[in-house]
Amino acid sequence: MLVATRALARRAPASSLRVAHLSTASALEAESERFSIYNPTEEHVALRQMVRSFAEQEVDPQRAEYNEKEQFNRALFARCGELGLLGVTADESCGGSGMDAVAACVVHEELSAADPAFALSYLAHSMLYVNNVNLNASEDQKRRWLPGACDGSKVCAMAMSEPGAGTDVLGMRTAAVDAGDHYVLNGSKMWITNGCVDSETLGDGALVYARTGPGRADVSLFHVGPENPGFSLGQRITGKLGMRASPTAELVFEDCVVPKEDLVSEWNGAALCMMRNLELERVVLAAMAVGIAKRCVDRMGKYAAERVAFGRPIAEFGQMQRHVAEGYAKLMAARAYLYATAVDLDLTSTGNRLDTDGVKLFATTVAKEVADAAIQVHGGYGYVAEYQVEQLWRDAKLLEIGGGTLESHHKNMIRDLAEGLPPGV
């Protein structure tokens, strides 16, 4: 919709413009803008159109440069704030839009098709931080933290993983003690998206999980920022395979002082916050996977029609047909599973683990496989940055690790599927 005039404005040579119908909007695109399970309400349709226009006009063009330089695009992030995307699921009274899990999926799918790395930083901020605060923090805390996080002036993170504990997250060793009028935090966190914004600078706020009791599930949640004494940037992690425009940090806590009013939820009560937020995280990571797969199908379809070998478009060769057709079918299966899961996901609930794990398990591998097929169809051109598919392939791989490895999904799902199994580790 709004892309239209902008694109026209760029091309317009003179006042007496003959408006031509430009490129092809694929069957895929037209289909996903109508009411359907992907867009259950009028607001979802409008949201998808808005994010798609924004992604085409502003996210796509910056992708190559920021990923090559491993830089976070803070100005683009601020634009997401202006457009109201950072608080998609947050309360309206705190600067959010109070939308549902489907809306969150719509935004992730569209942003990820243009630049998965930028979408990952969007996810860490708006889902792992904003949505977590919105659900688990007190009204006073929400008023203190959410407006700046929703308007884009603050870039925030959630820190759960540690150098020695990832899948086994409850094996975390970062610990906090109650020192009377404040808490003291010691330990370190690893792989924290938006933990920093560049090699020297911490992000503006983070939710940090820490051990606070002898029981395995005795963890609490704290809010920290660069202003807390004893909190520092261990390192910015560089040289990642993919997701290079998304900053990843090691965070260090050395006798870090946390004011009493910055404990989120109950003392020893954060396991529930973690589980509830992980369900949404997995669904939107699956949405990112769908965005990647969609872009790959689109790219390989177009390329197969254009590229000529042996005197014919390569789309006429059976092996190429298989890549494109199977890619499309896998994409649509992942997408249907995604929106079927999201539409039933009540953000305030837990206990949706089977399908939130299941959809991430399925969709992320689809993204990797479809990206691989897209490179294959592009031949040598698929191996270089210009056609985007090599980046999508590298970025897709993270989705099989972050937010829970494939194996962690197997481990979780078997608890629901093999009834009567004794409680696992």
Partner 1 sequence: MRVLVGVKRVIDYAVRVRVAGDKSGVELANVKMSMNPFCEIACEEAIQLKEKKVASEVVAVSIGPKQAQETLRSALAMGCDRAIHVATDLRLDQELNPLAVARLLAKVVADEQPDLVIVGKQSIDGDNGTTGPMLAELLGWSQATFAAKFDVAGDGATAEVERETDTGTEVVKVKLPTVLTADLRLNTPRYPKLPNIMKAKKKPLESKDAADYGVDLAPSIVVEAVASPEARAAGITVDSVDTLVDKLKNEAAVI
Q: Which residues are catalytic?
A: 281
Q: Does 253 bind partner 1 (CB under 8 A)?
A: no
Give yes or no for residue 126 binding ligand FAD (CB under 6 A).
no
The three-state secondary structure class of 41 is coil
Residue 36 binds to partner 1 (criterion: CB under 8 A)? no
**Residue 198 C-beta: closest distance to ligand FAD, Å:** 16
CA dihedral 63, 65, 71, 75 (to 10 degrees): -70
CA dist., res. 12 & res. 35, Å (int): 33
Nearest-angstrom CA–CA distance, 85 and 152 = 9
Q: What's the alpha-carbon Rg for the chain, to the nearest Å?
A: 22
Q: Which is nearer to ligand FAD, 86 or 398 (CB)?
A: 398
Using an 8 Å Cβ cutoff, are 383 and 375 in contact?
Answer: yes
Of the ranges 14-22, 165-173, 203-211, 218-226, which one interacts with partner 1 (CB under 8 A)? 14-22
Nearer to ligand FAD, 102 or 135 (CB): 135
Please tell me whether residue 33 binds partner 1 under the rule CB under 8 A: yes
Nearer to partner 1 (CB atom), residue 30 or residue 275: 30
What distance in Å separates the CA atoms of residue 387 and residue 384, rounded to the nearest whole number?
7
**Which among partner 1, ligand FAD, none contacts residue 88 (Cβ within 5 to 8 A by kind)?**
partner 1
The label of the residue with tokens 């191996």 reads 383
Shortest distance (Å) from residue 80 CB to partner 1 = 10
Residues between 214 and 253 with contacts to ligand FAD, criterion CB under 6 A: 240, 243, 248
Two structure tokens written together for 343: 């539409």
Is residue 123 involved in binding ligand FAD (CB under 6 A)? no
Tell me if 79 contacts ligand FAD by CB under 6 A. Answer: no
Classify residue 347 by its DSSP letter.
T
Q: Which of 233, 238, 70, 103 lies closest to 159, judged by CA?
A: 233
- 405 binds ligand FAD, rule: CB under 6 A: yes
- Which residue lies nearer to partner 1 by CB, 46 or 241? 46
For partner 1, the binding residues in 72-111 under the rule CB under 8 A are 82-85, 88, 92, 97-99
Q: Is 311 in the site for partner 1 (CB under 8 A)?
A: no
Q: Could you say whether residue 179 binds partner 1 (CB under 8 A)?
A: no
CA 382 to CA 296: how far, in whole Å? 11
**Strand locations in 55-203, DSSP E?**
156-159, 175-178, 182-193
Output the smallest distance, CB 241 to ligand FAD, in A.
9
Residue of 85, 105, 107, 160 that binds ligand FAD (CB under 6 A)? 160
Q: If binding means CB under 6 A, how many residues of this protein chain bind ligand FAD? A: 37
Which among 2-10, 43-51, 191-199, 276-284 is the span making contact with ligand FAD, rule CB under 6 A?
A: 191-199
Give yes or no for residue 216 binding partner 1 (CB under 8 A). Answer: no
314 near ligand FAD, rule: CB under 6 A: yes
Residue number, 43 or 416, with CB nearest to partner 1: 43
* CA atoms of 83 and 272, how far apart (whole Å): 31
**Residue with the two structure tokens 């085409």:** 56
Tell me the residue type at 27: A
Q: How far apart are CA 102 and CA 172, in angstroms?
A: 32
Run of H or E including 259: strand 248-259
Q: How far is the CB of 110 from ligand FAD (least distance, A)?
A: 21
Sign of CA dihedral 91, 93, 97, 99: positive
The two structure tokens encoding residue 210: 């820490």
State whether residue 336 is helix, strand or coil.
helix
For every residue of 119-173, DSSP letters joined together read HHHHHIIIIIIIIHHHHHS-HHHHHHHHHHHHHTS--EEEE--BTTBSSSGGG--
Helix 353-378 / helix 270-306 crossing angle, nearest 10 deg:
30
Helix (H, G, I), strand (E, B) or coil at 2: helix
Binding segment (CB under 6 A) for ligand FAD, from list 27-35, 54-62, 165-173, 273-281? 165-173
Q: Per CB under 6 A, does 183 bind ligand FAD?
A: no
| 149 touches ligand FAD by CB under 6 A | no
Interaction site with partner 1 (CB under 8 A): 1-9, 12, 14-19, 21-25, 29-31, 33, 42-43, 45-47, 49-50, 53-54, 82-85, 88, 92, 97-99
Interaction site with ligand FAD (CB under 6 A): 124, 157-161, 166-168, 191-193, 240, 243, 248, 307, 309-310, 314, 317, 319-320, 376-377, 379-381, 383, 398, 401-405, 407-408, 411
